[in-house]
Amino acid sequence: MKCTKIIISVFLLVLISCKEQSKKQTSVIQNKILKETNNSTNSDSLSRKVVYNFYKWYINDVYLKRIEGYDYAPYKKYGANKYGLDIEAYESKLEEISFFSNSFKLYLIDINKKCNQEMLKEYWDSNPNDEGGSFNIPSCQFRWNYRWFGSQEGENNKFTILDNFSKENNTYKYLVQTFMYGEPFTKYEVIVVKENGLFKINSINSK
């Protein structure tokens, strides 16, 4: 009988201990969820998340798949020996990018329109794309110099948003580090603003 009481006492102690441990684990999980929830509603976190989500989408679904039409307008034949850019097609592509502010989209459309105007003044022996798309028109140089990601980075999808960032009111400045052969390569400065209550990318420039 005495032995039975001892066994029951030990069992109760183990049971109480397990319940306490379970409560502690539950508390840790709840605190983690609460912290993540607070972070998800924090402006710093939300603005950073826009940058992360854009690069994750762009690198994996556009850059690595070699899908064209997002970075700049495709070439278009307007007549005999007359080539320019398909601005309407480009505007349609930009509308698919929910990460960009309206002002950024307007800027991108504007520089493509200026390039298009100068291209239409030229006499073209062949489709510019057949020559690798390279030609000497100053207002079109962004087509080779301006990047959101890639050029020499090769077939990789590695990037990181550096911890140091600056902000002024609802304008954030982030640095995105890309890599080549596992080593740090180009940095991109990404400006994020608040537009109609949502954080949007307002510019991207290599550093």
Tens-place pLDDT, residues 128-146? 887 666 688 999 999 888 8
Burial zone of 75 (CB within 10 Å; 0-12 exposed, 13-18 middle, 19+ buried):
middle
> Taking the model in full, what pTM does it have?
0.75
Under 8 Å between Cβ of 200 and 101: yes
Structure tokens at 53: 């989500």
d(CA 152, CA 149): 9
Residue 193 parent element (H or E): strand 183-195
Q: Specify the 3-state DSSP secondary structure of 150.
A: coil
Q: Which residues pair with 82 in a beta bridge?
A: 79
Tens digits of per-residue pLDDT, 149-192? 876 556 678 899 999 899 988 899 999 999 888 888 889 999 99
Residues ≥6 apart with Cβ < 8 Å to 23: none
Find tokens 């030609």 and name the residue: 135
Name the average pLDDT for the chain: 81
